[in-house]
Structure 1
Amino acid sequence: MAIKATRRLPSLIALRAFDALVRQGSTGGAALELHVTHSAISHQIKKLEEELEVALVERQGKGVHLTSAGRKLSQLVNGAFEQLRDIHSALPTSTPSGSLRIACAPALLARISKILDRFLRDYPDVSLYLLPIEQANQSTDIVISFGDSEVEGLRIAALGDIMYFPVGSPRLLNGAEPLRKPRDLEKQVLLHEDDGYDWSRYFLAAGIPSLQGRQNIYLPNAALTIDAAIAGTGITISDHILAGEQLAQGTLIRLFDIEFPAPHPYFIILPPRGANELSKAFAEWLMGELEMIARVG
């Protein structure tokens, strides 16, 4: 069956998910490669089929079984992405070299460190120094903050529509105090990276503003609340940017369907010394990666 001709460019995010699915041979493998959830991959494949108005994957049995249209699209997509991967070597301009000192909030720092290999493939002569945001100083090239910062420099707002929701270990679902609805959280330990503001906003969104957890643990940052949630210590509030990898791997699960908007966007700040070609290239790359995670996570 031929793919229906169309002048509208299909979603590049959906095409990327399809390409990963075919190469990895499974939804799980594609999810791990792109650092998103299994359901996100399935959603993007379905979206691509709707855009092209043709079935691409046979949904029966294990593994990935492509339709004739899927096999044709796979050849086209694979060739196109191979050309895109080689784009830097094909361009006559030189690739920036040197080093970047990047200061970032702990949880986002942990997340970004898992995908930096993609940047380094395109910039083989670059070294990266990743620092806690508290160590940002005059020698820092890039600062990535949640909300604004006192650091001087060019501000680039990224991902202003982040949504928060509870996450926890799958072991807690059928534990001594099962989790079936938001009100069940009153029997759970709640993990906080702040003074309780995020949880109060969640309970307000859930229509139970007076609810409180059985006990509370207050931690210095979101990275530690995520680690504690994975260990089964309690439930925390997070998002697809910070907890996306754990959600994709199944070490954390999203609880319930209720969510609420994060109070601030992420800001990429280029201090005066960091406003150079390499810093701008990293900022542009990072915004694209985070946008990908936010859309399909």
Structure 2
Amino acid sequence: MISQETGDSDSQIDGLSSLSPSRRMPSLMALRCFEAAARLESFSRAADELHLTHGAVSRAVRAVEEELGTPLFERRNRRVFLNDHGRVLFDGVHAGLAQMAQAADAVRQRVARHALLLSCEPTLLMRWLIPRWGDFQVQHPDITVHLVAGGGAVDWGSGIDLALRRNDFDWGRSTHSVPLREERIGPVCQPQKLVQLFAQAADGRYQLRADATLLHSKTRPHAWQDWQKYTSNSPKAYVQQVPAAINLVFEHFYLSLQAASAGLGVAVGPQLLVQDEMAAGRLAAPLGFVADGSQYCLLAPYAWGAGSAQQKLCDWLLQQMAQEGG
């Protein structure tokens, strides 16, 4: 049964092959050389236009003539003129190349008009990206990007083109990722609450008071433990020694930062997300910031091309994050 099916398939392929010689086309590059030489009536000028040598154009035209089995030009006084066969071919090739160029332009315009959908972690979106977004629009007025809040794993089938995430989860090997900046964290509070929440040693360094109110969030439940792990200024197991009565837990990370700026206690704040409020005098970071081993990355379902809208957005993000304090 298998042998019979294989024989039938082979005979069908042989049938197609027997028809192919009469349908065979010269190469596209050879036809481009022919079209340029015919339009410019010169192999040399065609070579200049196509950035080829005179010999390359001559060989290409010869290949077309050999493929079709007939001369296409009359050569007189260092110029070339189409004969009857050449004019027939030129009309079709010229129209075909023009149609292909129009189609390519149409695709470019569609790509340029396509709005990218960028998913960004909510706190990063609200506290860092949106305040700087006007600069991207000024630099790239031809690129339309729709911003949506989202965290964790990305459903690429939902129409998302790019995602801005911290690498605190496994997004899989197939996802294309570009590291943008390391995450740096530190305790932050309202400047007017420094004396209540921190003690200052003789050398001027600050240390959390034992009765300081610590602010937590359910979306980053291990923020304080992470800070203890990566800083040398915090005593081991300090958070566990703080009475539970002076710990406040918020549903989302950005709420804990908002509570800190309102004077309710001390939160662990990423430097990238609190620096604007620090510059405005609404937050202070007396212990500074330390890298926590994670980083922000730009994700996509596949690698993008050079000069694409995705690459321009990536370059802008890298530039913006490089300008922020490290």
TM tier relative to shorter chain? 0.5 to 0.7
Q: Name 1:197's counterpart in structure 2.
A: 222
Deviation at 1:223, TM superposition (A): 1.8
Runs of 4+ in 1 over 4 A off after TM superposition: 93-97
Size of the alignment, in residue pairs? 199
**DSSP 3-state at the match of 1:186:** coil
Task: State yes or no: 1:145 paired with 2:165.
Answer: yes
- What are the Cα deviations for residues 177-211 of structure 1, in whole angstroms up to 9, with x where unaligned? 55436553321221123565332343453241132
Tell me which amino acid in the other structure corresponds to 1:101. L
- What are the Cα deviations for residues 221-275 of structure 1, in whole angstroms up to 9, with x where unaligned? 4322211111112111123211111111110011234x43223111110223x83
- The answer (yes or no) to whether the contact 2:121–2:149 under 8 Å persists in 1 is yes
**DSSP 3-state at the match of 2:264:** coil
Q: Superposed, which structure 2 residues align to 1:29-178 within 5 Å?
A: 96-110=112-126, 111-134=128-151, 136-137=154-155, 138=157, 139-147=159-167, 148-150=169-171, 152-160=174-182, 162-175=183-196
Q: Which runs of 5+ in 2 are unaligned?
A: 1-107
More helix, by proportion: 2
Q: Name 1:287's counterpart in structure 2.
A: 318
**Which of the two has higher C-alpha Rg?**
2
- Matches of 1:150 and 1:202, distance apart in 2: 24
Cα 1:195–1:290 change in 2 (3 A) is closer
- Matches of 1:196 and 1:209, distance apart in 2: 18
- The answer (yes or no) to whether the contact 2:226–2:292 under 8 Å persists in 1 is no
Cα 1:159–1:218 change in 2 (3 A) is same
- Matches of 1:225 and 1:244, distance apart in 2: 15
- The answer (yes or no) to whether the contact 2:119–2:160 under 8 Å persists in 1 is yes
Deviation at 1:289, TM superposition (A): 0.4
- Matches of 2:255 and 2:144, distance apart in 1: 27
Q: Name 1:19's counterpart in structure 2.
A: none
- Matches of 2:135 and 2:180, distance apart in 1: 19
| Alignment TM-score, normalising by the size of structure 2 | 0.54
- Matches of 2:251 and 2:209, distance apart in 1: 22
- Matches of 1:97 and 1:185, distance apart in 2: 56
- What are the Cα deviations for residues 134-156 of structure 1, in whole angstroms up to 9, with x where unaligned? 49432111111111542753111
Tell me which amino acid in the other structure corresponds to 2:212. Q
Deviation at 1:294, TM superposition (A): 3.5
| Alignment TM-score, normalising by the size of structure 1 | 0.59
- The answer (yes or no) to whether the contact 1:96–1:123 under 8 Å persists in 2 is no
**DSSP 3-state at the match of 1:224:** helix
Cα root mean square deviation, aligned: 2.8
Aligned counterpart in structure 1 of residue 304 of structure 2, from 270, 275, 278: 275
Aligned counterpart in structure 2 of residue 265 of structure 1, from 295, 302, 326: 295
Cα 1:178–1:289 change in 2 (3 A) is closer
Tell me which amino acid in the other structure corresponds to 1:202. W
Identity within the alignment, %: 17
Q: Name 1:209's counterpart in structure 2.
A: 236
- The answer (yes or no) to whether the contact 2:278–2:284 under 8 Å persists in 1 is yes
